[in-house]
Structure 1
Amino acid sequence: MLELVTGATLAASAGLNAYIPLLGLGLLSRFTGVVQLPEGWLWLENGWALGILGVLLAVEVLVDKVPALDTINDVLQTVVRPASGGMVFAAGAASDTVAVADPAAFITSAQLWPFLLGVGIALIPHVLKAVARPILNTLTAGAGAAIASFFEDLGAVVLTLLAVVVPLLALALLVLVIVLLVRRLRRAVRERAAQRAQAA
């Protein structure tokens, strides 16, 4: 059961930032005993894979903090974030971690459903983020982009670490993040509607 929580939380983290959970799993597997990736996912700890993920993360972090570019990035990431979510769900749920010493056999099998489940989970925070960000940029004249992006990246890092070490706490934090994203979106929609009413 904990392996499903680990995979789901990692997938949601990928919905915020595609590269943080992939890089996190790779680094934790390569340099610590916290994660032991299964054989099919050992490529994540390869030096080349870690380097490429690091470069992609740096580009994502920079682009996501610039108004207008962040919206274009969200459109492009509509394919990348869910794919990353599928990969980290499958890899994370099948890994031996501090919290999960023996993942269930159906998770470690070569079935497609763990990947697809991760894709679906990653889509939820990605869609919330992609919808909220243009509204936030409009309301704050772009000033809110960097702040929102910072907290999204921070949330992805914390979710990734907690998913591996304390999955139930990660799940609670995930629910909190989704609630906050929904509240932020609702507030932004109300403020935008109020601005339009004043302009009319």
Structure 2
Amino acid sequence: MELLTAAGLSSAAGLNAYIPLLVLGLLNRFTSWVALPEGWGWLSNGWALGILAVLLLIEVVADKIPVIDSVNDALQTVVRPASGGLVFASGVGAQTVAVADPGNTFGTAAWVPLLIGAGIALVFHLLKSGARPLLNLGTAGVAAPVVSTAEDGTALGLSLLAVAAPVLVLLAAAALAVLLVVGVRRLRPRRSGTAT
């Protein structure tokens, strides 16, 4: 179950880096639904939640404006996978990696959950950021706010689903991936003519 929760959270991070982090932090702080493992308590700290809320607000606004959304996606190529790694590692109960001996940082398997989560988030991020310019071009930017709102809603729903019903996460993440792949294929310009 922990793996499904972690996979759902990191998938959501590929769409919006800050929503799954906020969901985990808020649920840990104000409910009994989430009990973050030792070493992840900083995620429910008031300062961390405040900073995440401000970053989420910036992300939500920037992602609704055509052209700026593509610049934002380029910047988020680092942030979303990092967020995915963090939520995956916290979801499976991994301890945070302390770099007391830099030469031995990768000597243990503590970094593996971070890498897995980053990979999952990166896949969803690349699908999202690949579709957005095509969508903006095809609709003259009119669809950007609508699609962005749907992505934010999906990230929130997937994050909550990962915590409340992790078994359904696999189905939801697979459906989302298929939807994104089909969307990218439909938006890609068709090549005219045939090779002779």
Segments of structure 2 that go 5 or more residues without pairing to the other structure are 98-109
> Are the counterparts in 1 of residues 19 and 156 from structure 2 also a CA contact under 8 Å?
yes
Q: TM-score, length-normalised on structure 2?
A: 0.89
- Aligned counterpart, 2:33: 34
CA distance in 1, matches of 2:86, 2:43: 10
Residue 158 of structure 2 corresponds to 159
Structure 1 counterpart of 2:103: none
Q: How does 1:9-20 map to 2 (within 5 A)?
A: 9-20=8-19
Kindly state the Cα deviation for residue 93 of structure 1 after the two structures are TM-superposed.
1.7
Partner in structure 1 of residue 173 of structure 2: 174
Aligned mates of 1:77, 1:90 — CA distance in 2: 19
Distance in 1, matches of 2:172 and 2:144, equals 22
Partner residue, 2:129: 130
Q: Is the 8 A contact 1:163 1:171 kept in 2?
A: no
Kindly state the Cα deviation for residue 144 of structure 1 after the two structures are TM-superposed. Answer: 1.0
Q: Which residue of 1 aligns with 2:149?
A: 150
Which letter maps to 1:73? N
1:91 shift after superposition: 0.7
CA distance in 1, matches of 2:138, 2:52: 33
Alignment of 1:58 with 2:69, yes or no, is no
Give how far 1:76 is off: 0.1
Paired residues in the alignment total 181
Structure 1 portions without partners, runs of 5+? 95-106
Q: CA deviation at 1:193?
A: 2.4
The Cα of 1:108 is off from its aligned counterpart by 5.2
Percent identity, aligned pairs only?
A: 56
* Cα offset, 1:109, TM superposition: 8.2
CA change 1:83–1:133 in 2 (3 A) is same
Q: Which amino acid aligns with 1:87?
A: L
Closer/same/farther in 2, CA of residues 109 and 144 from structure 1, 3 Å limit: closer
Deviations 1:107-147 (A, max 9, x none): 45851100000010001110001111000000000011111
* Runs of 4+ residues over 2 Å off in structure 1: 107-110
Which residues in structure 2 correspond to 1:70-85 (within 5 Å)? 70-85=69-84
**Take 1:43 and 1:117, find their aligned partners in 2: how far apart are those partners?**
21
Give me the CA root mean square deviation.
Answer: 1.4
Q: For residues 110-125 of structure 1, what are the structure 2 equivalents within 5 Å?
A: 111-125=110-124
TM-score (norm: length of structure 1): 0.87
Is 2:158 aligned against 1:193?
no
Does residue 139 in structure 1 map to residue 138 in structure 2?
A: yes
- Taking a change above 3 Å as real, the CA distance of residues 115 and 137 of structure 1, as seen in their structure-2 partners, is same
Q: Residue type matched to 1:162 in 2?
A: L
Name the amino acid aligned to 2:167: L
